[in-house]
Amino acid sequence: MRRQTIRRAGVVALAMTGLLGIGLPVQANAEQLASSCLSSFCLYEHDNYTGTEQEFLFTSNGCVNAGTLNNKASSMRNPSAGRIQFYNSANCAGSYGYVAAPRSVDSDLTNNGFDNLTSSVKRVNP
């Protein structure tokens, strides 16, 4: 009986250690995902949604220049229902190089070859 109690206590302690080990990164990720960008589209100067934040409010499908983040954007959030096309030229000239799906995030634009290249963005309904 005593051996069973000790074994159970060990299993509970191991489970609690696992939960605590998993809980901290999840909490950190939740803090990273918190933003003022709730319904519009946002670009960020650095990876992981840090640095200068530029918020874009689209009233219809249209093109908007990147402003202060011209050729400086490294991450993005798109909580909107629209698809966002990224262009490396002002006024959405030429073909687009990256598309942000509706309700998506990308913490590092390097992985798709568009880090520090965005000059303008265009919202397109899916």
pLDDT digits (tens, 9 = 90+) for 49-106: 999 999 998 877 789 999 999 999 999 999 999 999 999 999 999 889 999 999 999 9
Q: What angle do CA 32, 36, 42 make, to 5 degrees?
A: 85
Three-state SS for 77? strand
Both ends of the chain: CA-CA distance in Å?
63
Q: What is the CA radius of gyration of the chain?
A: 21
17-36 in b/e form (b: 16+ CB < 10 A) is: eeeeeeeeeeeeeeeeeeee
CATH class in words for 40-124: mainly beta
Residues 19-55 have pLDDT tens digits of 333 333 333 344 445 567 888 899 999 999 999 999 9
Domain ranges of the chain: 1-34, 40-124
